[in-house]
């Protein structure tokens, strides 16, 4: 999917087969990448996220830093760490 920003630049969105956002690329080429803890053990191997974390982001990587998330069995966020 693509969108045009206020400066006329294209913003691109990439999704996985489950419809979850994987990547956003802005008009300047900056990427924000998402990884998901899907409750099956796949996804971000260094992130907490089993149990109620199905379809919740386990890691978001920005151009200059990343955030990692963990969830309890009810899907409530319990970890929110900034990683350099």
* Segment 40-46 long-range contacts (CB within 8 Å, at least 24 positions apart): 44/68
DSSP annotation of 53: T
- In tens digits, the chain (84 residues) has pLDDT values of 778 888 888 999 999 998 999 999 999 999 999 998 765 444 454 444 455 677 889 999 999 999 999 988 888 889 999 997
Q: What is the pTM of this model?
A: 0.75
């Amino acid at each position: 999917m693509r969108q045009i920003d206020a400066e006329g630049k294209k913003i691109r969105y990439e999704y996985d087969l489950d419809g979850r956002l994987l990547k956003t690329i802005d008009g300047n080429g900056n990427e924000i990448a998402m990884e998901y803890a899907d409750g099956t053990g796949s996804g971000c191997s260094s992130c907490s996220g089993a149990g109620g974390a199905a379809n919740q982001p386990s890691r978001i990587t920005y151009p200059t830093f990343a955030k990692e998330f963990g969830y309890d069995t009810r899907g409530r966020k319990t970890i929110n760490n900034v990683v350099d």
